[in-house]
Structure formats: C-alpha cells, structure tokens
Amino acid sequence: MKKFLAIILMLAMLFAVTACSVTPENTDTNSDTGTNSDSSAGSTESDTSTKPGTGGTYVPPAILDHDTTNYVAKYADAKQTKIKYGTYSVKAPEIADYYNNYDAALSMTFDDGADIGAARLAESIMSQYGFKGTLFLQISNVQGNISEWQKLVSGDTFDVGSHSWSHSAPSGLSEDAYNHEIKDSLDYLQEKFSYENPVTYATPFSQLTASYKQYLKDCGVISNRLEIGGSMVSPDTVDPDMLTVYAKRIDTGNNQESIVRINVGDALNNGKWFVELYHNVRVQDSTDISEEDFRNHCKWLYDNYNGKVWFASYDDVAKYLVQKQTATIEYTDCDSESMTFVAKVEKNYGQEMTLRLFVPFFIDSAYAIIDGEEQYVEVVKEAGVSNARVIYINTEISEEGTEVKLMLGGNDKYQNNCDHAYSVNEVVEPTVDSFGYTEMICTSCEHTYKELYTNKIGK
C-alpha cells in the first residue's frame, strides 16, 4: 500500500512540474511567489465568438510574440521554478458602452418648440455645465420664426429631431397621413438645419401604433422616444430597432425634487441611459419647469456625475448605440511591435466611437495609427484588475472599415533618446475629446519628444 501511495505521489509531482512548462494563463512580472491575475495573458486557442452588448462578433485573440530575453515570467511550482516564455494571447478589442468610456449617459430632450425664449433660457443654463440636448420640434410651431431656431441650433448645445408636423396622435391617423406627419417633417428639418439625415423622432402623446412604427422605420428613423415613467435604458438590452426608448417627463408641478433624483440616480449608478423629457423652462402650464428648479437640477447633475456620465444629446447617444449594435472588429496582424485590426459598422451615422483595446501587461507606452494618421494614446492600468493594461481611442468607424494599428512602446519619436538637456516647447491640455501632452525639445540637437500622454478617457 505504501508503495502504491508513493507512486501516486510521484505522478502528482510530475504533473505539477509539467504544468509549469506550458504557457501560463495568469502571470505577474512583479510577483515573487505564486500566481496573479493578468487579463492580457490567456489561452492561445482561437475561435469565433459573439459577445452580447459589445457591438457585434469579434475575432478572439491573436498571439503576440516578444523577445523572451527581456521578460521573465514567474510561475511558481513547488520548487519556485522560473519559466521563460514568449507568447501572449491578446484579448479582442471592444467598443465601450458609452463614448469616452463613461459609466452611463443622460440626455435632455425638449418638446414642441412652442417658445424660443424658453429654449434660449434652457441653453444658457445647460451651457454653463457643458450639457447637450435635443429639441424635438413640432414643425407647425417653428415655421413662423425658423431663423431664430436655426440660430439656436447653430450653437454647441442643441441638435434637433422631429416631433411630427402638427402633433396629431398616431392612433387617430390614417396611413395616408403618415407621409405629412413623419416624412415631410423630417425633410423640413433636413432642409432648414442642413442635416444630412435626420434620424430621431418623438411620437406625439407617446403613442405608437404598429403601422406608425413601421413608417418611421421606412423613413430612416433609428430611434423614437416615448414617455412611460422614465424606464431605464441599458445599452446591452435596448430594443434592436431603438423605436421604443422611454423618457421621464420632468416638470415643476408633478415632480418632487427628491423623487426625480432617486429616479435619475438609480439609472446613472447602474450604467443606464436616462432620458429626460422637458417642455419649457418657464412656469406657464403643468408641463413646464421653473428656471430655479431647472437650474438646481443641472447643478445637482454636474456636482454628482461630472466625469462619470456622458451628458449628451438624445441624437448622439442613439447614433452611438445603433452603430455599436452593428459593429465588428477583427485582427489583421499581430507581432512583437504592433497590433493591427479593422473595425467596421454596418450603419454609420458619423458618431465617434470609443474603442477599448487590451495590451499585454508589460507594455507601458504606445501610439496609434488610425487610417494612416497618428494619434497619441495612454496605456492605462485598470483599477482593481491586476496587471490589466488598456488603451481607449475615440474615432469614427466607417462602413468600409477603419484600420487601427497600435505601435507598442519604445518608439524614438516619443522617447527621450539623447543625453542633452531638454526644455518645455509646448503644453497641450487634455479635454474630454482629445489627448494632452507636454512636448520637450533638446537644447542641443533640437530632438523633440512628448511626455504626459493624458486624457479624460481612462478613469
């Protein structure tokens, strides 16, 4: 019996040593003992998979080779054996749920277009916080002073969507009337606001019949807003056709401030898209919100969610989510110096997307070449994930395909590669949409390099 147990023990030890001779699934170059999680290292097998909510079908990891003499992975067996290896499986790129990798999204929408003065007041308050909104215009209301609405929309705060021509309830219309209420209103917006293709709509009285919905779709509408209690919208579970997106009406008379904040906070804290429905910033009837209430609400949103939430127009969020649903990403090349892939969308509405790119844990610098044009990027260590390295890139993705090539670390153009003294040549501050950097210039040979690649994408 003892002899039998000894044989079993020897076989177990042999199996343990053998297990350490294969490429480990989790590694940590900074660990002295044991194994640590690393989202960049993993299986070398490849198969096609579909990830719900990530924007389409992705081709799983290619293999990234590197010089094994430069990196020693520690993967301990019973004898603390150090194993060198030279292949890393790279997780497939993804599209972030929201632009700039924000945690959630909030859109302010304003219906009817009945009062240009109230709309201007809303703009003056929203612009203080950088908020964006969508005006769902009833054409019969704005025809008489269309030039004033054009001036308002030419600013940075508002875009427009259709709220029909005459605000007729869909349930009372014949299909023959749809052409005027839907198509003519969209054509009017396209003509007066130079929109290439108006694609968002809000049905009057939050009604939507099956035939009305089909006509919206036939006219190229990609998202239709309704109002039923302010249901939360998730980018992973939203209707595929986006024609039943629910908003919560916010007004002074029917909404206590504490209730509104609970509704909004619940949505934003759970990564949802929350759509607010307003009519006018004034006090004239039961659908309006007072200037004081609107100002307080905007301040509360900014104080609690700035930097966490994408404050965007309904039009922009709808375009982002629809494009994301039709996106695919596929690797075309992967070697020791670069990773190249092509991203495509079946439906392109010109909305920039945020790509989330994973790189091996030993990469600490990189830059991107997008369709031949260089862009500075920052390699971010994700909080709470041991050794995870990720890069965020904002870019438009075309139907034909947008090629992104990541050059991985060590390029002389972005490093201090001489021993002379350097001085600051230029400082570019980061914004929510662009990268910031400090450009240094050599006082002797005029060589330049950039440092402090920062932006507001990686939180």
Residue 253: per-residue pLDDT: 80
- pLDDT given for residue 288 in this prediction: 92
The SS3 call for residue 133 is: strand
Query: What values do phi and psi take at 227, rounded to 5?
Result: -135, 105
Express as a percent the part of the chain with pLDDT over 90: 41
Mean pLDDT score of the chain: 75
- With vertex at residue 375, the alpha carbon angle to CA 105 and CA 313, rounded to the nearest 5 degrees, is 20
* Among the four given CATH numbers 3.20.20.105, 3.60.10.10, 3.40.109.10, 3.20.20.370, the one describing domain 103-306: 3.20.20.370
pLDDT in tens, 133-170: 999 999 999 999 999 999 999 999 999 999 999 999 99
The Cα 441–Cα 425 span in angstroms is 6
% residues pLDDT > 70 (the chain)? 68
pLDDT of residue 71: 30
User: Is the pLDDT at 185 greater than 80, yes or no?
Assistant: yes
| Three-class SS state of 145 | helix
Question: Which of 49-63, 109-123, 154-168, 182-196 shows the lowest mean pLDDT across its residues?
Answer: 49-63
Distance, in Å, from the CA atom of 113 to the CA atom of 218, rounded to the nearest integer, reads 25
| pTM score, whole prediction | 0.74
Q: Which residue type sits at 197?
A: N
Tokens of 371: 């369709």
Dist CA 433 CA 376 (whole Å): 12
Tell me which of 171 and 412 has the higher pLDDT. 171
Residue 85, pLDDT > 70, answer: no
**All structural domains of the chain with their residue ranges:** 103-306, 411-459
Average pLDDT in the 157-185 region?
Answer: 93
> Max alpha carbon distance in the chain (Å)?
100
Q: Does position 98 have pLDDT exceeding 60, yes or no?
A: yes
Q: Which tens digit of pLDDT belongs to each residue from 363-421?
A: 777 888 999 888 878 888 776 655 678 899 999 999 999 999 988 764 444 455 566 77
Conformational region of residue 355, where left means phi above 0, alpha means psi within -120 to 50, and beta covers everything else: beta
